[in-house]
Structure 1
C-alpha cells in the first residue's frame, strides 16, 4: 500500500508517533533494510509507538499483497497498461500496474475523503524530529541525517495533495519509476497514461466508496 492508505486503515487518533511509523518503512527503503528489529526501552513511549507503527506497516503490506483485492486491482491496471500504445518503449508494465493500483487508492482518498489527507499531514507534523532521529539511531539507519531531512521534506511539501490533479498524479508515478531504476515516462507517454487513469476512474473505479470498502475488508 501507499502512504495515505496505510494511514486510512491503521491510523491511531492523537498518536503522531505511531502514525509516523506507519510510513517510515516506505520512506526509509533506501536507507535501511528493515525497521523490524529495533531494540527500544519500553519506557520510551514515543519510540515504542514509532516502532509499533512500522511493524503495523509490514503486517498490513503482507495482508494486502496476499489479498484477492490486490490481485484484482493490479490485474486490472496491468491489463489496461498492456493495451496502451505508448510512443516509447515502456517495460515492466506488470510492475507499473502494481504501483499504479496502490497510488490510485491514495488518489481515491484524496478525491473522495479529503479529511483523511488533512488528518494524515496534521498527525505527522506533530512528531518531534528529535524523537524520529533517535529512532533512526536505534535502527542503525545509514545516512540518518539524510533520511531525517527526507521525512521532514515529505511532511512539509505534502505532495500527495497534488494527486487530485491527474497530470501531477501521473508525474508522481513517473518519479516512483525513476527511484525503482526504470526510465521516466516521457511527456507524451504521461499524457497517454493520464487518459488511461481517467477512463479507469470513470469505469472500474467509479464507485470509490465500494473500492475503499473492499480495501478495508482486507484487514
Structure 2
C-alpha cells in the first residue's frame, strides 16, 4: 500500500494518520531509521494520547502491509505491471522490472483511490496541519531503531509538496516516479513509461477489490 491507501480512513485522527505515513516517510528521511513492530507495540496503550495515536497508526501501516503484500491480487497485478515494464525495457536486462511493478502498483492504487474519493485528499493533507512536527519527531524517536533530527522538517515538506495530488495524472506521476528512481540510484524512466502507467491504471481500477478485500480494508 502507499500513503493515501494507508491513511484515507483516518483523516479525522491527525496523529494516527501521521503514524500511517511514518514508515514510508522515514525511508525517505533516512533509510537507516526503521520502525519495527516489537518497538512500536508497547506504545500503543500509552496514556499519552499523541504517543499512542502515532504508535497505533504505525501499527496499522505494518499490519496493512502484511496482508496487502500477500494477497493474490497484489501478486498478480505486480506481475502484470512487471511484464509491461519488461516489454518497455526489452533491450535492457539491467532494468529492475520487479521493483517497478511493485512500486507502480502501490502508486496507481493511491491514484485510483484519490479519484474515487473527491475531496478526501484535501482532508488528508489538512490533517497534517493539525500535528506538531517537533512533538511527532520526539515521539517517533522513542520507537525507531535509531534517532533522527530530520523528520520534523520532512513532515512540513510532505504537506507543502503534496505530491500525492500528482498521482492521478500519468505525466505528473511519471515525474514523481523518476524522483524515486533518482533517490534509489536507478536510471530514469523513459517517456514510454506514461503508456505503462495508463495501462496499469486500468488494471488496478478493474481489480481494486482484489487489492483491497473487504475483509481487510
> TM-score, normalising length from structure 1?
0.84
Which residue pairs with 1:27 in the alignment?
Answer: 25
Aligned mates of 2:91, 2:171 — CA distance in 1: 17
When residues 172 and 89 of structure 1 are mapped into structure 2, their CA distance, relative to the original with a 3 A threshold, is: farther
Aligned-residue Cα RMSD (Å) equals: 2.3
Choose from 53, 60, 63 the match for 2:57.
53
Pair 1:161-2:165 in alignment: yes
Aligned mates of 1:84, 1:25 — CA distance in 2: 31
How far the C-alpha of 1:130 sits from its partner, in A, is 3.2
Aligned residues: 209
Aligned mates of 1:77, 1:7 — CA distance in 2: 24
The within-5 A match list for 1:103-122 is 103-122=107-126
The within-5 A match list for 1:54-203 is 54-85=58-89, 91-140=95-144, 142=146, 144-185=148-189, 189=190, 191-201=191-201, 203=202
* CA contact 1:69–1:215 (8 Å) conserved in 2: yes
**Partner-residue secondary structure (3-state), 1:133:** helix
How far the C-alpha of 1:139 sits from its partner, in A, is 2.8
Which residue pairs with 1:6 in the alignment?
Answer: 6
Unaligned runs of 5+ in 2: none
* CA contact 2:51–2:139 (8 Å) conserved in 1: yes
Aligned mates of 1:135, 1:125 — CA distance in 2: 17
How far the C-alpha of 1:80 sits from its partner, in A, is 1.0
Which residue pairs with 1:44 in the alignment?
Answer: 48
Unaligned runs of 5+ in 1: none
Which residue pairs with 1:204 in the alignment?
Answer: 203
When residues 148 and 141 of structure 1 are mapped into structure 2, their CA distance, relative to the original with a 3 A threshold, is: farther
Aligned mates of 1:128, 1:92 — CA distance in 2: 38
How far the C-alpha of 1:74 sits from its partner, in A, is 0.3
How far the C-alpha of 1:35 sits from its partner, in A, is 4.6
* CA contact 1:35–1:55 (8 Å) conserved in 2: no
When residues 90 and 110 of structure 1 are mapped into structure 2, their CA distance, relative to the original with a 3 A threshold, is: farther
* CA contact 2:141–2:147 (8 Å) conserved in 1: no
Aligned mates of 1:27, 1:16 — CA distance in 2: 15
Aligned mates of 2:178, 2:90 — CA distance in 1: 14
